[in-house]
Structure 1
Amino acid sequence: MRKLILALAATVAFAGSAFAEPVRISVGSYNLNNLPFPVAAGLGLYEKEGLEVTVENFASGGSKTLQALVAGSTDIAVGFYDHTIQMQSQNKAVVGFVQLARNSGLVLAGGKNAAFDPAKPETIKGAKIGITAPGSSSDFFVRYYLQRHSLSADDVSLIGVGSGSAAVAALEQGKVDLLVNYDPAATFIEAKGVGKILIDARSDEGAKEIYGGIYPTAVLYATQAYIDENPETIQKVTNATVKALAWMNTHSAEEIVEKLPKEFISGDRDTYVKAVQNAKPIFSVDGKFSETDTQTPLAVLKSFNEKVAAASIDLSKTYTNAFVDKVTDKTTN
């Protein structure tokens, strides 16, 4: 993992320039929802904006990244949009300013001996379900599914197993019966013959089946205080990231993987390319937030998060399109 951190940091560093502007960006996970960030780094777009990016807390988990942001030990986080809603319920102003993944990207997969049948929701009772971590969006996914089918978290066992190869191994070894995770793990499960996908929220149709709407996930976010004090830095980061999204939309999965540090690629390369291809529909093409879509995670959180349910949430303060709207040139040249 240390090699991975150093590799990505080296990719984004604007080395040797006395005029480079330093910015610390924390990444909570290397699941594919966050892929536009390393793609922007691989294309050298942060460097072209005159930024020297230090990558921190890589793969430490979304909650740890959020803690680092609120504590002031990082400037910008690559994390999930629903964190901004949770923070507002705690009277903390955290704001998304570029949307990376417009949809969930989560799947629920069953191991070879899984007894769960989505057509009969009650068959999930007693299952050991792997999630990335407690309090994560994969945790929310399970809890909301259970609630919608008149079940509760007490009917199952929720086990944090991380993401990527570690999550796939947990399913393969029988440590969990079911697994809720993202690509590349989702693609690896079927490619390795470990199990099969039972519920797929990578598509708009699958997301609507689970959540009742589109569920935005990965975003770039920062505290409102940092945004107010550093609008030029935020704009530069936005410029680079929006250009990366536009580039990804017009290039193949193979070309996208070519731009990544080799250490970033999980498993065999061919399967990873397939995972990127499977995940492509979830990525934003322009970085903008949809007012309608932000309602979905709010509804999900309100269903089981007492603080969010009790708070008067103003969604307009959890995101801004102001910086994305100022990006006029989306070419990477």
Structure 2
Amino acid sequence: MNTKRIGAAGAAFLAATTMAACANNASGAPTSAGTVDASAPNVTIMVGGMSKQIYLPFMLAKQLGYYDKIGVNVNLVDEPAGGDATQNMLAGQVQGVGGFYDHNIALQAQGKSSEAVVSMLQIPGEVELCRSDLKGVVKSPADFKGRSLGITDTGSSTDFLTQYLSKKNGVDPAQETRRGVGAGQTFIAAMKQKAIDCGMTTEPTVSQAVSDGTAFILMDMRTADGSKAALGGTYPATSLYMQTDWVNNNKATVQKLVNAYVSTLSWIQQHDGAAIADKMPAAYYKGVGKAAYVKALDSEKGIFNPTGLMPEDGPKTCLAVLGEFNPKVQGKSIDLAKTYTNEFVQAATPVS
């Protein structure tokens, strides 16, 4: 496979936990410290890149005080690579993952059972950026042949989406090099150093790279129209997913979590970017600046799922993408109905 990785693969689980806790507490934002209920269930959720706007609901729910109100001690852990987060879930180190829904399809293909219990993004929110010096040279993914392309990590959702876009535009993915460069500063540094020509990333990295002249937007999947044009249909992205056995054995806890996230999604719909940003830790917009962070939120607020229900045509689109390029999925019979559930969203009650 013509993929490479820049930098370390990611911190070990304990290190990631420590860094996430430090980052959250150092922000000066409200935390649940001092209000932990020893009798309440403890749930650790590993998020595939906490500062990305596509994963905003996980921290926003904490900032709104919803975890305390539902009576669950939630520990959020940052892990930039969604695939690594999934492995930690399978190892029992975390109970849930904040990541792309499509991981559940890949897991079923490997004989493992997990399911998304709430859908937070109805479209990917991903953007394909290219270096500014390539404007007019790279005009579409048809020009990816021989190029170095940035992805979050090998085997990540951005990896398969990049391959899908390449093939759809007539380029064999074997004729490109895909490099794991993460997001944020590592992504931008890779582009500035010309380690990558183009790359797939999300807000607020997009705004920072465009505003400082590092990159231009080649393809934009922050809108429903852009997503359908690129991928052929609705592509549900961020979700909370868990192993099916854990869900079945802890339904009361899962329901509380879903109550919190459905309420958070509703809160997002009722507020503008400025109000949302005011609730987030300052560290989340430090690199790009609060004004740009707010502008990005306002422009892409439509990516957030207003209901939490899985989009009806979404799983089929995800399977079509993975079935093309994920060797673990190719040729396998997938029961999509077992990769997600709307049970908890349909029973959700508002958190007040």
Query: CA separation of 1:12/1:26 partners in 2, compared to 1, >3 Å: closer, same or farther?
Result: farther
In 2, the alpha carbon distance for the partners of 1:266 and 1:138 equals 24
TM-score (normalised: structure 2): 0.89
Q: Secondary structure at the match of 2:170?
A: coil
Which among 220, 224, 227 is matched to residue 204 of structure 1? 224
**Per-residue Cα deviation, 1:86-109 (whole angstroms, up to 9, x for no partner):** 000011001000111110111111
In 2, the alpha carbon distance for the partners of 1:294 and 1:3 equals 33
**Per-residue Cα deviation, 1:252-284 (whole angstroms, up to 9, x for no partner):** 111111111222334122122222223311111
Q: Secondary structure at the match of 1:79?
A: strand
The alignment status of 1:97 with 2:150, answered yes or no, reads: no
Find the counterpart in structure 2 of residue 306 from structure 1.
Answer: 327
Find the counterpart in structure 2 of residue 265 from structure 1.
Answer: 285
Within a 5 Å distance, the mapping from 1:141-220 to structure 2 comes to 141-220=161-240
In 2, the alpha carbon distance for the partners of 1:8 and 1:319 equals 30
Q: Secondary structure at the match of 2:314?
A: coil
The alignment status of 1:37 with 2:58, answered yes or no, reads: yes
In 2, the alpha carbon distance for the partners of 1:16 and 1:27 equals 21
Find the counterpart in structure 2 of residue 291 from structure 1.
Answer: 312
Structure 2: stretches of 5+ with no match in the other structure: 1-15
**Per-residue Cα deviation, 1:41-95 (whole angstroms, up to 9, x for no partner):** 1101011001111223x13411111001111111111111000000000110010
Find the counterpart in structure 1 of residue 13 from structure 2.
Answer: none
Deviates more, 1:6-15 or 1:308-317: 6-15
Which among 44, 66, 81 is matched to residue 101 of structure 2? 81
In 2, the alpha carbon distance for the partners of 1:289 and 1:280 equals 17
In 1, the alpha carbon distance for the partners of 2:183 and 2:21 equals 16
Query: CA separation of 1:189/1:16 partners in 2, compared to 1, >3 Å: closer, same or farther?
Result: closer
Tell whether the 8 Å contact from 1:34 to 1:78 is kept in structure 2 after alignment.
Answer: yes
TM-score (normalised: structure 1): 0.93
Q: Give the aligned length.
A: 328
In 1, the alpha carbon distance for the partners of 2:152 and 2:181 equals 5
In 2, the alpha carbon distance for the partners of 1:16 and 1:124 equals 51
Tell whether the 8 Å contact from 1:111 to 1:171 is kept in structure 2 after alignment.
Answer: yes
CA RMSD in angstroms comes to 1.7
Structure 1: stretches of 5+ with no match in the other structure: none
AA of the residue aligned to 1:284: N
Deviates more, 1:5-14 or 1:154-163: 5-14
Identity across the alignment (%)? 34
Which among 159, 163, 179 is matched to residue 139 of structure 1? 159
AA of the residue aligned to 1:140: F
